[in-house]
Structure 1
């Protein structure tokens, strides 16, 4: 019987397994309730690999945050490129937030845990988490809309970005408490669709230049 060939090492795959296990566990239990032993047990790797690739549990949590931020940043840029006019680009963005938060619940949970920690992992000098790359693209879209007379000229772009995120995020961050208190199942696709449609209406009624010609929302035009 020929001798067994050693399994070739794949550093990228090992690092990815550790990171994915950390994201799942941190999202479910938070930073303090998860041990490195639990992470390596789920990732099925040697414990020293965590320290080899990440250095510490804190650095691993920062990497988990960075990873989920990259995921949403990718869909943000992709979403606005699917639109033609500034109005349609921002409409696609709001739709993409609802879709992303549905399929990536770990993003919402990790951010909630980090906010309970008062953002201590986001205040590191070398952290990679920032909304600046997409904020500049968002600003350019809004400015295009202002230049064409489609949007109001007095918009605060940074606060508008916060409003975009908040109006979508609340459906997932407070899903269970709102479902109970309002007797409305926010996990239901039809309920979220109605919510998205109202978010679109509220946003565009608020940012549209009152003197601009009346136009149909992109979602309505597609029906």
Structure 2
């Protein structure tokens, strides 16, 4: 029996606002190779990856990379704008989660401290039980230790938890430690998964608000 839902954030509960955000940022700053080249380098940077487990400072990383890509932009200014302008909430899914028959709902997300704090404020939904950000646990998905530390903190057996993520390797990692897991590709297909696990009624339709 599933009593607890573990939801990824980026790619599930929220999405990036492309291409509007990219166009606006490139209009306002001179980029050496364009914003997306910077983003790709940022997400692949070993020090940035270390920020996700709380072992490095994201502002120091972005300052270092922006000095080459867009010298007029500081790490702090970039982070403020990224958080304010490049997130679109998945309102339909958020409404659906509030209607599920489940005892607990946690966010299970890879985040560094600045973005993690923003995510907590943004997703302070009435149905939310708590947040497990990777930087707080000291490990990031798909490291099995991320899931093990989450389970230790809650005291829940893996068999009672359903983890949802948009990235298949992370779904596979969750299954590897005994969690039930669903690969998110759309709201409708995820709702079908919720029904399969008995968390939503068979007649429930997606919220169109």
- TM value normalised by structure 1: 0.27
Could you say which structure has the greater relative contact order, defined with CA pairs below 8 angstroms and 6 or more residues apart? Answer: 2
Q: Greater strand share, 1 or 2?
A: 2
Q: Could you say which structure has the larger radius of gyration?
A: 1
